[in-house]
Structures are given as structure tokens and as C-alpha cells.
Amino acid sequence: MEDTAQLDIKQAAKEILETIDRDREREIIARRFGLYDRKETLEQIGELLGITRERVRQLEKAILIRLKLAAEKDLPNIHQIEKEFIKHLSEMGRVARVSDLAKKAGLTGDDRDKAHVAFLSSLAPNLTVLDENDDYHQSVAIKEHHNEKQLKERVGEVVKTIKTHGTPVTISELHTKLSGYEHPEHVRALASVSKGLANLKDQWGLIKWPLVNPKNIRDKIYVILQENEKPMHFSEIAKHIKDSDFKRKDVTTQAIHNELIKDGRFVLIGRGIYALKEWGYQKGTVADIISKILKKSKEPMHRDDIVREVLKSRQVKETTILLNLQGKSQFKRVAKATYELAE
């Protein structure tokens, strides 16, 4: 049996459609919103009905104007639905994606459910509907707080603040940086409307930032290392990825190891242990690191001092460092346990 909320919303949409006298006009609205199936373009509907794209647009506009005028008076169930939507939106930060509002109203949030919520919201006198485009998810807001222009401006302000900050930020921190927003949930709601933002574990940032929107294995490795703030073995990184909230996280340990080897952001600092280059680690063998240390010193160094310096950037055994120091021709012992670069 259908959920009561689902039945009410779909029944309300059906009854409103039935107030449209002409079959062709009902067909246009149903197909444009996707009430029966997927949403259709003006061209597709025009071809089906044997009229031009422009004529479909004109009819759609005229029908919606009539329905909105009727909604202010006696359109079936619209005021009850509007009241329910406003109640939900008040709990969600005054604005929400249509998909989230549909779920809040007891629907599944699939395309047809979203279509019904969008259709009813577009007719409700006290709601604002923001249509989907390259910048925004299709969303609904309480008109008392946001008309379409104000909604776009506020979403833009949130995006600009995150961009200026330059790194991922929590909603609480973002709320502190903004002025005129009563509650952090209002900021969260506005951020969720933008297609230019993404979030991961309550860290919000631009969608192109790997820390909030890791798209490939390399980005996911980077996020894991950043979160743990310390070098990790590739098998440990693999386990963290598999236990994460990432999409498409079913990758092999070997694939992760291969990406660690290929990506310049990661530095091998021990047997299978990797760190981020941005932490100050440099690529190279233990012998390369010893060479850099001696070159920087400009004078012979005691073995213990060399070991101490190498261990700052490599997680290796002390014996590995000593074997490199004693067994490589590029290093010359000049006194007891004291070395310099060979000329």
C-alpha cells in the first residue's frame, strides 16, 4: 500500500491537472514536468503534438499563469500541500533541493516524485522554485525569506566565501564568516543548492577540490592521507578507502599502490610507506637524502647526526642508513664515524 504522504501529493497533482479542460494542455504540463514519465523538451512535445517549439512554450506559460491564479483561490489541495512543504522547509533551513524535500515529505525522491513536488511547489503562492541549470540544483524555498533573485544572491555569497577561504570549511565555520544568517542550517541549505560546491564529512568546498569531491583513486588516497595527517602504508590506505563513504571505493590494494607510485603528490619514505610531498618530504632514495643533507651541511658530519636528519624524512631502519653511508662511493669517511660527499 502506498504511503499516505505519497498518495496525497500525487493525488493532489492529478486533481490539479484535471482542472485543465483541454487534453493537449494537460499533456503539455504533464510532459514538461515529467509527471507521467521523464521530463520532455519543448521540441519533443512539439513533435508529438504537431506544433512548434515556440507554441509549446507559449501554451505552457499561459497554462501555468492560469493555474497560479487559481491556486490563490480554490485549486484543489494546494494550500494544504503548501502548508506541509513550508513546515518541512522551516526544519530544513528554509530552502531545499526538490529531491530532499520529496524525501522529507515521505516520498522516495526518484525523478517522478521530484516532478510532483516541483509541480505543486511552482503553483504554491508562498513558495519559490529555482529551476535546475548549470549552477543550481532544482530547489524550493519559502518565499517570505527568498524570492528567486535573493536565493541566487545568497547561494552566490556562500560560494564566494568558500572560494575566498581557499580550503574546505565546516558549516559552523562558514556561518561565522557570513553575516545575516540566523542559523548554520540556513547556510547548509543554501550551500546544498549550488552545483559548484561539494561536501565530505561536513567539510564544504568547491566541487573541483579533491578534498571534498575525490573523483579518482589518487584523489581518494590524498584525502585519506590528509585526514590521518601522517605517513601510511599502502595497505592501510587501501583499508581506509574501503571503509570510507566514498563512491566507487571497491578498488584493489595493488591499484592503490600503483597510483601512489605514479602520482607526484606522494613520496615513498619507507618500505611501502607514503607521505604527502606538501608535508616537506622529497622524492629519492636513502642515498639521495644523505647526499642532500651533506651538501646542505657544507662540512663533514658525524654518523649519528646524519642518521638523525635522514629519519626526519624517511621511515627506515638505522641500519639501512648506515649501509648506504658505508657502501656507496659517493660518501667518503674523513674521520672516525664522520663523513662528507666524495668529490
Cα(80)–Cα(101) distance, integer angstroms: 16
Task: Read off the pLDDT of residues 175-221 as tens digits, 9 standing for 90 and up.
Answer: 999 988 889 999 999 999 999 999 998 899 999 999 999 989 999 99
pLDDT tier, 37 (very low <50, low <70, confident <90, very high otherwise)? confident
Residue where the block lists cell 635522514: 310
The contacts of residue 231 (CB under 8 Å, 6+ apart) are: 225, 269, 270, 273, 274, 275, 281, 315
DSSP state of 230: S
Query: Using 50, 70 and 90 to split pLDDT, how confident is the model at 234?
Result: very high
Share of the chain above pLDDT 70, in %: 98
CA atoms of 71 and 125, how far apart (whole Å): 7
Q: Which residues pair with 198 in a beta bridge?
A: 205
The per-residue pLDDT for 2 is 42
* Mean pLDDT calculated for residue range 146-169: 96
**Residue 56, CB half-sphere, CA atoms under 13 Å: how many?**
20
pLDDT at 246 over 60: yes
- Distance separating alpha carbons of residues 262 and 56, to the nearest angstrom: 54
Question: Cell numbers at residue 19, please?
Answer: 482542472
- Is pLDDT of 1 > 80? no
Residue type, 8: D
Note the pTM of the prediction, 2 decimals.
Answer: 0.76
Distance CA 246, CA 198 (A): 13
b/e 165-198 (16+ beta carbons within 10 angstroms → b) = eeebbebebbbeeeeebeebebbbbbbbbbebbb
Mean pLDDT of 71-96: 92
Give every CB contact of residue 131 below 8 A, 6+ residues apart in sequence.
Answer: 138
- Cell output for 29: 504540463
Q: Write out pLDDT tens, residues 64-74.
A: 999 999 998 87
How many Å is the Cα radius of gyration of the chain? 30
121 and 98 Cβ atoms separated by less than 8 Å: yes
Half-sphere exposure of 60 (CA within 13 A, CB side): 22
Which residues face 106 on adjacent strands? none
What average pLDDT does the chain have? Answer: 93
Interior angle at CA 139, CA 247 and CA 3, nearest 5: 80
Distance CA 98, CA 147 (A): 16
pLDDT digits (tens, 9 = 90+) for 92-121: 999 999 999 999 999 988 999 999 999 999
Instruction: Identify the residue whose cell numbers are 564566494.
Output: 160
Res 5: pLDDT:
52
Task: Please give the domain boundaries of the chain with CATH numbers for all domains.
Answer: 4-74 (1.10.10.10), 81-204 (no CATH), 217-279 (1.10.10.10), 286-341 (1.10.10)
Phi and psi at 198, nearest 5°, equal -145, 160
Cell 629519492 -> residue: 284
Tell me, what's the pLDDT at 340?
Answer: 94
Contact 30, 10 (CB under 8 A): no
Residue 4's pLDDT band, with cuts at 50, 70 and 90, is very low
Calpha distance 140→89 (Å, rounded): 8
Q: Is the Cβ–Cβ distance between 196 and 206 less than 8 Å? A: yes
Q: Which three cell numbers stand for residue 78?
A: 494546494
pLDDT per residue as tens digits for the range 262-314? 999 999 999 999 999 999 898 899 999 999 999 999 899 999 999 999 999 99
